[in-house]
Amino acid sequence: MQILVTNDDGVSSPGLLALKQALDGVGTVSVIAPDRNRSAIARGITIHSSLWVEEVTLADGSPAYATDGTPVDCVRLAALGLLETTPDVVVSGINLGLNLGDDVTYSGTVAAALEGVLLGLPAVAVSQEPCGPAIDLTGDEYPFDFRAVASFVQRLVPLVCDARFPRQTLVSVNAPGIPPDEVTCARVTRLGRRIYNDSLELESEEGDRRRYRISGDASHHPEEGSDFDAIERGEISVTPLHFDLTDLSGMDVLERLEVGSLLAPETASADGR
Ligand code: MN
């Protein structure tokens, strides 16, 4: 089995290495990852320029590709022939931080896995909560313990690759930031709902230009059975996601509003085009 491992934190992330090493025994792992942190880039792809791909070496001496493209570009590179064999499964992560609730729409980690699903491949996204406060003053460095989620994903990937597993389903895994022996179980969850408390702050002004910072923290609606709920209980959260964004009840509402008749007669082309 050919396993493509990618991420959005960049090729030097310890989470990427932990995932690669966890999956080494499951199949043949290839690594293609962004050359720098591309977190929160979601489903972005590179269309206005070509892509650099560089052969690099991970901290354990194994080979990898680094690209100046996005996480989704990494999966496209693999699917379009960068590797000798095309991947059988896409596994993205381990992200340094959770991807819960509405956050999945911003996540590059989840987006890369979604690209796998779009290509008809099994796909898993893996995210880990830090297990303590920041260990440097800038707040960029947090302690992470990947052991519980790494062994879980090692067992999960073969299940997701089984022919009976639905091909349109991406599995998003989130692990709580507690010691591995305190993780009690893994639970199937639904996406919870975020409450974003963002604010806009004027940082500086230069003539006609102003520099703003958008920042803030986020909470969530308490909801039993949600991914947030599992993490708060110290459990690994396992959420199936799919790509079909169509709101079926919204279709009924629009039909009842007869939007089909809204086109003004004067704008409708006489020859029906
Ligand atoms: Mn990230």
Q: pLDDT at position 229, please?
A: 98
What's the CA-to-centroid distance between 254 and ligand 1, angstroms?
A: 37
Q: Are strands 89-96 and 123-128 parallel, antiparallel or unpaired?
A: parallel
Asked whether residue 272 carries a pLDDT value surpassing 60, the answer given is no
Which residues have C-beta within 8 Å of that of residue 125, sequence separation ≥ 6? 91, 92, 93, 95, 99, 107, 109, 110, 112, 113, 170, 171, 172, 173
How many Å lie between the centroid of ligand 1 and the Cα of residue 221?
A: 23
Give the number of other Cβ atoms within 10 Å of residue 83's Cβ: 16
pLDDT of residue 265: 79
71-106: per-residue pLDDT in tens?
999 999 999 999 999 999 999 999 999 999 999 999
> What domains can be seen in the chain, in order of their start residue?
2-192+222-246 (3.40.1210.10)
> Strand 53-57 relative to strand 194-206: parallel, antiparallel, unpaired?
unpaired
- Position 31, amino acid: V
How many whole angstroms from 93 Cα to the centroid of ligand 1?
Answer: 8
Distance CA 175, CA 9 (A): 17
> Across all residues in the chain, what is the average pLDDT?
94
pLDDT per residue over 131-170, tens digit each?
A: 887 777 665 677 999 999 999 999 999 999 999 999 999 9
What distance in Å separates the CA atoms of residue 82 and residue 66, rounded to the nearest whole number?
A: 12
Which residue, among 102, 117, 101, has the nearest Cα to 225 in the 3D structure? 101
Which contiguous run of DSSP H or E holds residue 251?
helix 248-256
Distance in Å, CA 127 to ligand 1 centroid: 8
